[in-house]
Chain A
Amino acid sequence: MANRLSDHSDADLYRMLRGDFSTREAAFGELYSRHGSRIYLYCRKIMGDQPSADDAFQQTFLRFLQSAEHDRLMTNLPGYLLRIARNVCLNAKKRMGYISVPLEEFQLSVEDISLETKELATMINAALDLLPEDYREAFVLQAYNGLSYREIAEVIDLPITTVRNRIVRAKQKIRDILSPYLADYRG
């Protein structure tokens, strides 16, 4: 099979998921290659631990594949995938009885304040776990998934002003958490 799928839109590929086996397989593979990393990143950041994230990621794509059996108009496939991922992650967290650590209890045991980029990414991940769930989700969708405020508002179905506030507050809190370690970094 050597169909040229890269020229097809997401909506075309979504329709092809209702085709025969080889067509479904090819379309699914192409959609996976386009959006898999983004969805995986979301699951990792929301779920925190990798096994849970892996499970949520797989469930997301399996549900997505099942959803294609029904005839529906697909206008924003990445957003649709993210909504599925969001539901999967939230349900999983409810089942797991997620407990958020109060911000005040946070202490980072890192003495080196000259943070390299990779180390800083690790620190941000640690700080991310301490954010309120709503803030974290908005932050992840913007910072890791690259969605605009408006796109995020569509995904989580909230006003754009709320999304904006959550993102800005999330970033400010992360900076506050990391401030002892960022103090020497002034550009």
Chain B
Amino acid sequence: MDEPTNVTPSDLLYLFLDGEADSMQQTILFGALAGDGELQAEFAQALHMRSALERERNEIRPPAAVTHDLFAKAGFGAPIAESTEPAASDVIGGFLGRFGIPFLCAVAGALITALLFGSIYGHEIDALKREMAMTARSAASRHGDEARAPREPVMTLNAHVGNEISNTKATEPLTRTTTTLSHAGGRGGTTGYSPTKHPRQLSRGTQISAIAPREPESDAPAEHPVISSTTVRSLPPEIHGSTGVTIASIDPISRPHPLAMHEDNAHIPLHRYSARLRGITDLRFYPDREMKGSLQPWYGNASMGGQYYLSEHHAVGIEIGEDRMPMYRSSGADFVRDDRLFWGGGTYQFRMDRIEPLGGVQPFFEGMAGATVMGPIGKGMVGISYAQEGNVSMGIGIEGTALLYRLHGLWYSTEKTGVAYLVNVHF
């Protein structure tokens, strides 16, 4: 059966498709095809089979686990992934090839994050701007009175949508109250405060500034200002005493105005921006892997970035960095064992209130979504930060990193955890 027999048109068909038919055989085949419907059908089916085989040929690759195992058995440090990265022919091309994607992802991530949080806090920020403008105008108009009055403290209150509000009246009303109301919708002005608007009706971003003069001019019992207990505690004692106001909070977890000084943070100026450096140490990789024989630069697992504080508790930013992951790769032109991954992404940070009994440390959570040339990367960190007086704060926490990467046509993930430390410079 193995020895050559008479070659049929069907045989010629396969020889032709395999590129093994000579010119004479091709001529015979085409002649047969012209008048044989069955042979034409067989030709079409053979072509269909060949395309299926070619597709499979291009898709099947050794599994990553098999490759890892083989390299380990061979005594080599790590498997090698095929890379589709083009060789960097010049400095600019090399820079873009290595940093371009992370940089673009960092910018995109920051934009998305800014848009996301802008939509959430936009009203608050708008209200803040309006209030600042009105405060400036009000201050200008009061300038003469204030010059005569020995002291006229301003209390700033916040009511936020979603916060539980308990409507409790002051047991003793202020005898005259001048209140500034400004709503996110743009309504605002200086008026005598009237509690006809139930506190629950106050929209997010509503700012209430109650000016409590020393001399009572009215005793209208209906005009009971509703004041945050937090703010009241920050009032000078003489004001608290002179007004006799005993106030229950309308907003037990009310957050201070983004630019106001929280009493707990009164000694720390709140800045809008910060630059930061971050590093990771004491790494552990998942699944269990070693960084055997890998490059270990002193600047590994480090990042830098900037943050913008939307409020005292929320900040967004962008960050770029370099991490060591249990990943190895080679480029088409250079064979480089390289486990360093450059990444970039957008960050979001939530900071809790300072914990005074613990020295004023501030717990925080932070997340990062970004990209590397190998695939998407994400980070999460839980930690505490501490700020002395001045513009510098330091933090430490546990950070987890996950990377998705493509190897031989399949997606894999690798993760690591470590102790992260960071230094922020606020300005």
Contact = CB atoms under 8 A, between A and B. Distances in A.
B5 A165 contact: yes
Interface stretch (B36-44, B149-157, B358-366): B36-44
Nearest to B45: A182
Nearest to B60: A41
B225 to A, nearest CB: 72
B47 A187 contact: yes
A101 interface: no
A175 B42 contact: yes
Contacts of B330: 29-30, 33
* Interface size class, chain A: 35 or more
Nearest to B62: A40
B299 interface: no
B60 A37 contact: yes
Interface in A13-42: 25-26, 28-30, 32-33, 36-37, 40-41
Q: How large is the interface on B (under 10, 10 to 19, 20 to 34, 35 or more residues)?
A: 35 or more
A65 B73 CA distance: 11
B57 A146 contact: yes
Contacts of A103: none
Interface in B1-54: 1-5, 10-11, 14-15, 18-20, 40-53
A61 B334 CA distance: 22
Nearest to B55: A117
A171 B46 contact: yes
Interface stretch (B75-83, B140-148, B170-178, B386-394): B75-83
Interface stretch (B63-71, B96-104, B230-238, B412-420): B63-71
A2 interface: yes
A25 B76 contact: yes
Nearest to B295: A1
A169 B67 contact: no
B2 A165 contact: yes
A175 B410 CA distance: 31
A185 B45 contact: yes
Nearest to A158: B2
A178 B41 CA distance: 13
A41 B54 CA distance: 12
A1 B269 CA distance: 50
B18 A149 contact: yes
Contacts of A54: 63, 66
Interface stretch (A3-11, A70-78, A81-89): A3-11
Interface in A59-108: 61-62, 65
A165 B332 contact: no
A103 to B, nearest CB: 13
Contacts of A62: 70, 73-74
A175 B49 contact: yes
Nearest to B409: A37
A108 B181 CA distance: 79
A28 B4 contact: no
Contacts of B55: 117-118, 121
B15 A120 contact: no
B336 interface: yes
A172 B10 contact: yes
B66 A58 contact: yes
A58 B10 CA distance: 39
Contacts of A2: 334-336
B60 A182 contact: no
Nearest to B65: A54
B49 A29 contact: no
Contacts of A58: 66, 69-70, 73
A187 B3 contact: no
Nearest to A61: B70
B333 interface: yes
A37 to B, nearest CB: 5
A134 B4 CA distance: 15
A126 interface: no
A144 B18 contact: no
Residue of B53, B66, B334, B336 with highest tally of chain A CB at under 10 A: B53
A58 B72 CA distance: 11
Top 5 A-B pairs, shortest CB-CB distance: A187-B44, A120-B52, A40-B62, A121-B52, A121-B56
22 contacts: A1-B336, A2-B335, A6-B332, A6-B333, A25-B76, A29-B335, A32-B80, A36-B61, A37-B60, A54-B66, A58-B73, A115-B48, A121-B53, A143-B50, A144-B56, A161-B3, A168-B11, A171-B14, A171-B49, A187-B41, A187-B44, A187-B48
Given A134-B2, A174-B49, A187-B41, 9 more contacts: A25-B77, A32-B70, A33-B330, A62-B73, A65-B74, A167-B18, A171-B14, A182-B48, A186-B45
